[in-house]
Amino acid sequence: MAFYHPILFRLDAERAHGLTIASLGAWGKAGTPLAPRVPRLATTVAGIAFPNPLGLAAGVDKDGHAIAGFFGLGFGSVEIGTLTPLAQPGNPKPRIFRLPEDRAVINRLGFNNGGLDGALPRAQSAKRNGILGINVGANKDATDRTADYVHGVTRAAPHADYITINISSPNTPGLRDLQHGAALRELLAACTAAKGTTPIFLKVAPDLDPTDIDDIARAALDNRIDALIVNNTTISRPGLRSANAKETGGLSGAPLASLARQRLADFRKATGAAIPLISVGGIDSGAEAYARLRAGASLVQLYTALVYEGPGLPARILRELDALLKRDGFAKVADAVGVDAR
């Protein structure tokens, strides 16, 4: 990822991403926040008081170098990671590809990160103006992936406002197998036992059939998961036009919007609206964020739209969202959640 700028777009996508994180990390220490707090946008989800419903999705600031900077852009929550027990380099480069004609990105990063021990001290010391989530995963060569997740949950819990279990990345071979049957139930039971009082969220893939959706929903309910993040990147390729469209990896951005809306509806139905849902995929405006809330999302997250819209996007979405809530007579975000799905 890199915020849109003609010079940055001339650079390799991963190098530009690194420069962006470094710049935001520096700015976060002294920069003036771009978005004011708006009382109407405050909301409580899973017992956590969010200053607004707009979150930064995991994968942007994997190692927590720019937490304060992202809060300064206006995000009500920032989710760092995915973090694994041990540092790992991820997949070979190049592994991030812009699709400008589609306003999309394909990545096959493979959980590249500096490990929990590197990032958690930064999470602990970062200036927070919102809610901090920590997204945890398993090392690629782990012989016991459930043990890796339990380790991640245990280590992250003292530093996080919530923890996300990420079993939905398409870039670690076999990882999505944990979304099914006994493996899923064993994982969720072990992680919920390890979390203490910290809320735990589960991030799922969009590439699921109806049986998968029902199974995940039941497992989440049975194990008292606090929220579902719907969804990760997709391995599908819906009508792409860009030169990099045939690259392997997970697709994010505007082309994911339709699938993300459908999965939001699917999981709301499958859970009976008994678990808060966080919608991700193709959110690039206040109008789209508002539509997801009305469709049943309690929170929304974005990532790829920042690449094309720039650092002013979060503040703009919050202004638009506030105006839409006011227009329709909603005193607070929670009043709008699910009104179009009842």
Contact indicator for 169, 175 with CB cutoff of 8 Å:
yes
Report the Cα–Cα distance between both ends of the chain, in Å, rounded. Answer: 37
252's CB contacts (< 8 A; 6+ apart) are: 104, 105, 106, 107, 233, 234, 281, 303, 304
Bridge-based pairing of strands 104-107 and 131-136 is unpaired
Active site residue 169: yes
Nearest CA-CA partner of 132 in 56, 189, 206: 56
* DSSP code of residue 92: P
Contact indicator for 78, 70 with CB cutoff of 8 Å:
yes
270's CB contacts (< 8 A; 6+ apart) are: 213, 214, 216, 217, 218
Distance, CA of 115 to CA of 246 (rounded, Å):
31
Bridge-based pairing of strands 43-45 and 299-302 is unpaired
Would you call 250 helix, strand, or coil by DSSP? strand
Write down the catalytic residue from 77, 125, 168, 169. Answer: 169
Q: Helices 286-294 and 257-271 meet at what angle, rounded to 10? A: 20
In single-letter form, the type of residue at position 226 comes to D
Nearest CA-CA partner of 173 in 248, 266, 245: 248
Distance, CA of 31 to CA of 144 (rounded, Å):
43
Could you list the active site residues? 169
